[in-house]
Amino acid sequence: MNQFGTILKFELKYFFKNKTFVGITIFFVILIAAVMFFPRIISVFESDDPDEGNTPFSTPVMLVKTEDAAKEDDVKKIFESYFTDYDVRIATENIEEIQKMIIAGVAECAFVMQNDTSFTYYVNNLSIYDTNAEIASEAVSRVYQMNAMINEGISAQDAADIINFRVSGEVVSLGKSQIQNFFYTYIMIFALYMVILLYGQMVATNVATEKSSRAMELLVTSAKPTSMMFGKVLASCLAGLIQLLAIFGSAVLFYNLNRSYWGENMIIDSIFNIPASLLVYMLVFFILGFLIYAFMFGAVGSTATKLEDINTSVMPITMLFIVAFIVVMMSMTSGEVDNPAMIVCSFIPFTSPMAMFTRIAMSTVPWYEIAISIAILVGSTIGVGVISAKIYRMGVLMYGTPPTIGNLIKAALKS
């Protein structure tokens, strides 16, 4: 126990003295600070501007050309009411000149009306977010509908009421709303993925470095392999948790400092309103998932003679993990997180940390399924830990060609 404590402290110190580790953490904290302070910074610049809300030069110009000069005023009014972000101007130039003006940047876009029901939209670069054509077609069709109704003898007021009639509807989600929890589940799964792969590799490299520098020769005579393995893995698990805590903690802190500037941003709001129970699940699955993979990475690291061998040795583990990640991500984006693949994955210990967590976050999972999944995961983590410690014990003193994983497990079970 004493030895384990010494090793844990020494390994943890290694992380905090590691420039890359500290650098990445600080980088993320600064990045998050920048994102969180962004609206505030923007608002500072905006309030410095004396022409607030009245900046004709920054408002893009939209040209509208009608086939009939008599309709110009009506059309202009309608377009102005639909395109409030634009400076709508009536164009009298011909089409070639309008096109030149757009290319030259004098105007951003132009609508050329052929008649009451058809128009052509000209724009220089068409952005995928450009919905001007749809908006215009709605505007034009409304005007057409209104005119048609007025022509049929309905009063202008009634016609406007009919057209502007809105149905009121309410959505009540009895389970979980995927709209709300999609983003934070996404962030958490991604964090889990990054941290496990990053730290797993670190554990493997760390073990292989000790072996290739032959510090192992002395270590094995000074400490029990189980203490060494568990000390290392738990140290990296703690370091990972601390790093995540620093990053997410700073995100929460900076968000609260700037809360008023964010206003009613649904995504941000949902991210910072994660239910406490989900955070607990996150912690449970993070720790268990981290440990089961870190043990495997540690065992594999111990079988490599040279540092260069590490990349090929850890390949099967990395692949396993990436497959799990892809299944989860695809199910998440398809919106159907309770598909058969996910249900199976949520009970397999190597995929359940991500799969079960996603299901809990985005769907309603019966408590016994969660309990079974966690029980399987805990049992497997202990099993993998014990086998890994045995492989480690053999691996660290073995030099030469790395043995196959199958052989190792066989030998470990035999001993």
- Pick between residue 162 and residue 218 the one whose CB is nearest to other proteins: 218
| Structure token digits, residue 28 | 């993320």
Q: 232 vs 35, 220, 224, 317, 388, CA distance in Å?
A: 34, 14, 12, 18, 12
In whole angstroms, how close is the CB of 9 to other proteins at the nearest point?
Answer: 9
- Pick between residue 138 and residue 217 the one whose CB is nearest to other proteins: 217
What does the alpha-carbon distance between residue 208 and residue 101 come to, in Å, rounded to a whole number? Answer: 65
- Pick between residue 14 and residue 37 the one whose CB is nearest to other proteins: 14
Per DSSP, 113 falls in state E
Place of tokens 């009939």: 68
The helices-and-strands tally (H runs, E runs) of the chain is 17, 4
Per DSSP, 120 falls in state E
What does the alpha-carbon distance between residue 203 and residue 233 come to, in Å, rounded to a whole number? Answer: 7
What does the alpha-carbon distance between residue 204 and residue 309 come to, in Å, rounded to a whole number? Answer: 11
CB contact at 8 A, 394 and 209: no
| Structure token digits, residue 298 | 């540690």
| Structure token digits, residue 370 | 């969660």
In whole angstroms, how close is the CB of 177 to other proteins at the nearest point?
Answer: 50
Place of tokens 């008023």: 260
| Structure token digits, residue 25 | 């953490």
In whole angstroms, how close is the CB of 220 to other proteins at the nearest point?
Answer: 5
- Pick between residue 228 and residue 247 the one whose CB is nearest to other proteins: 228
Strand partners, 63: 89, 110
- Pick between residue 1 and residue 70 the one whose CB is nearest to other proteins: 1
In whole angstroms, how close is the CB of 224 to other proteins at the nearest point?
Answer: 9
In whole angstroms, how close is the CB of 198 to other proteins at the nearest point?
Answer: 19
Q: Which residues bind other proteins (CB under 8 A)?
A: 2-3, 6-7, 10, 13-14, 210, 213-223, 393, 397
Q: 183 vs 157, 178, 224, 261, 337, CA distance in Å?
A: 44, 9, 44, 20, 14
From the CB of residue 239, how many other CB atoms can be counted at a distance below 10 Å?
21
- Pick between residue 188 and residue 408 the one whose CB is nearest to other proteins: 408
In whole angstroms, how close is the CB of 237 to other proteins at the nearest point?
Answer: 20
In whole angstroms, how close is the CB of 327 to other proteins at the nearest point?
Answer: 39
- Pick between residue 214 and residue 259 the one whose CB is nearest to other proteins: 214
In whole angstroms, how close is the CB of 16 to other proteins at the nearest point?
Answer: 13
Rounded to a whole number of angstroms, the distance between the first and last alpha carbons of the chain is 23
- Pick between residue 210 and residue 309 the one whose CB is nearest to other proteins: 210
